[in-house]
Structure 1
Amino acid sequence: FAAVVGSVQDGGLPHAGCRCDNCQRAWADPAARAYVVSLALVDARGEQAAVYLIDATPDIKFQLEMVGEWLGPHPQRPQRINQPAAIFLTHAHMGHVAGLSQLSFESMAVQNLPVYGSVKLVGMLQETELWRPLVSQLDLLPIADEQTIVLAEGLSITPIGVPHRDEWGTGTYGFKIDGPAKSLFYMPDIDSLAQWAAAETVLNSVDVALVDAAFYDAGELRGRAAVRHASIHDTLAFWEKIDSQLVLTHFNHTNPLLNPAAPERAAVQAAGATLAETGMVFALD
């Protein structure tokens, strides 16, 4: 199964230094807080479950604890949980790689942990001096667009390139997960579905799609034009051509959909979309 272990934009909820309505509610009420967007893939069919994370977020220590039951105890350090089977990186932006620092010698101290990313993203991690001490503890593995990785019998993951702002030329992946009976596409970041030539083909090939919903509308954030993400209105309109279940994720802290009482939230749900929440599970068998 796949489990949502985070559903908000890179800075989390609340945002550092922010006093917007959503953040004030989250500062006041811990139940209103949310982790940075991430998905856990759990294969519990064997004697020991295998857990895979998509992205290494700033909240990774909490997200690992959420799946600790399936990770199990570390074989040499019984007071710790085991490390995940692998991490798959969508792209190089802060909220998707910053959690790698929690895997270092100073913290979780992983050993030979497989971390998959685009060829250029892996190269950047290997060549950046700041990451060099950590890189020796990881098994950095470059994967090409549409290169399927078989994780276990009946379970595979395939990166598929999507358009998203690309300051370093490292690209952005969505991940198609094929299970024994069902499939899922996970795409926390995209500039526009209309700009993605393969959108209809890919999204109609899966049962469920978790899709970038950072902003509700163009007027939500000052300087919004420079922070390119798919519009929720455009996504809902695009979905008239799509048969898979739409699950919205990667909400910016300013997004009214984060307010349970907001009329915008009710309208989006009435239009047929599901809003990702931590703990939400999607069966793949």
Structure 2
Amino acid sequence: MGLRVQVDNLMEHHSQKSLFAVVLGEMQDGGLPHIGCRCPRCVSGRVGYAACLAIVDVRGAETAVYLLDATPDIKYQLNPLAEWLGPHPQRPNRFNPPTAVFLTHAHMGHIGGLPQLGPEAMAVDGLPVYASAELVALLQETRLWSPMVQGLALRLFSPNQPIPLAPDLTLTPIPVPHRDELGTGTFAFLINGPGKSLLYLPDIDSWQAWDAAHSVLQTVDVALVDGSFYSLAELNGRPPVAHPLISDTLAFFAGWPGELVFTHFNHTNPALEPNSGAVATIQQVGAKLAHPGMRFLLD
């Protein structure tokens, strides 16, 4: 089932006043198929978009849609949200951009969609895009990026400081350890709604390297986390990568009372196969696998 159909079904269930998060992609930065790969998953014809989450608030007079990360697949991920975003007031057959975009970090799968918001494509004007001070400076001062982000209202967020999205809805950027070649930091986003809280954490080096992990997770109902790799066998002898294995995450979260959901799957991950032993192991302990259209109520 494609994202368009999944979101259509979602809209039928959430046409009334509600507040929720919806998965728009579940793959690692390169998506599925992975460029240059002829593995069975990549030649199967299946399409998977880079990990992305939207927060949709349809409780007020105007619907608000907040996008977490701007992936290389952004045009496929935004188009199904057109009815929530609403028609553009000046441009026929166009819809509005999101209310705001929040960037977790500077890697390709998380900022690669920003050029699609520029003058050659969506041509936004004043779209708020929140990021770390270091990432904002990088986008503004790099000659390649600065012309592409002129239509964005780049705004700084401060680590661990909540950003109000509504009187009863906040988003808090929380620093997490992840490879940081550019010195711009990596963040998880803690979304606190009136009824539930959700932690969006698509990338992390390891759980043991994150000192605040236990204190943050005590406040969270749903954790949507890095599931890039299931086992070291996927690396074919290459050095270990900057992601915890799913088995490591299951062990770390053992006994945690919340809802654990994996996202950001590498194309090598056997958890992408519905009938695999990997999926059985994950589901046996009550964890879940993200898929496009998957929703989490926050009210």
TM range (shorter): over 0.9
2:140 to 118, 126, 148: 126
Q: 1:219 maps to what in 2?
A: 233
Q: Which amino acid aligns with 1:8?
A: M
**Shift in Å, 1:48:** 1.7
1:113 to 98, 122, 127: 127
Question: SS of the counterpart of 1:39?
Answer: strand
Question: SS of the counterpart of 1:53?
Answer: strand
Q: Which amino acid aligns with 2:125?
A: Q
CA distance 1:97–1:223, shift in 2 (3 Å): farther
1:265 to 269, 279, 283: 279
**Shift in Å, 1:226:** 5.2
Q: Which amino acid aligns with 1:9?
A: Q
Q: Which amino acid aligns with 1:247?
A: V
**Shift in Å, 1:222:** 3.7
Is the contact made by 1:200 and 1:242 (CA closer than 8 Å) also made in structure 2?
no
Is the contact made by 1:5 and 1:66 (CA closer than 8 Å) also made in structure 2?
no
Q: Which runs of 5+ in 2 are unaligned?
A: 1-19
1:229 paired with 2:248, answer no
Question: Root-mean-square deviation (CA), in Å?
Answer: 1.1
1:3 to 17, 22, 35: 22
Higher mean C-alpha displacement, 216-225 vs 121-130 = 216-225
TM-score, scaled relative to structure 2: 0.91
Identical amino acids, percent of aligned pairs: 59
Q: Which amino acid aligns with 2:52?
A: S
**Shift in Å, 1:79:** 0.8
Q: 1:16 maps to what in 2?
A: 35
Question: SS of the counterpart of 2:144?
Answer: helix
**Shift in Å, 1:16:** 1.2
Q: Which amino acid aligns with 2:33?
A: P
**Shift in Å, 1:272:** 1.4
1:185 to 191, 196, 199: 199
**Shift in Å, 1:76:** 1.0
TM-score, scaled relative to structure 1: 0.96
1:1-285 pair list within 5 angstroms = 1-25=20-44, 27=45, 32-222=46-236, 224-225=238-239, 227-285=241-299
Q: Number of residue pairs matched?
A: 280
Is the contact made by 2:115 and 2:149 (CA closer than 8 Å) also made in structure 1?
no
Runs of 4 or more consecutive aligned structure 1 residues displaced over 2 Å after TM superposition: 222-227
In the alignment, the residues of structure 2 paired with residue 68 and residue 193 of structure 1 have an alpha-carbon distance, to the nearest angstrom, of 37
**Shift in Å, 1:66:** 2.1
In the alignment, the residues of structure 1 paired with residue 291 and residue 266 of structure 2 have an alpha-carbon distance, to the nearest angstrom, of 14
In the alignment, the residues of structure 2 paired with residue 277 and residue 271 of structure 1 have an alpha-carbon distance, to the nearest angstrom, of 18
CA distance 1:216–1:224, shift in 2 (3 Å): farther
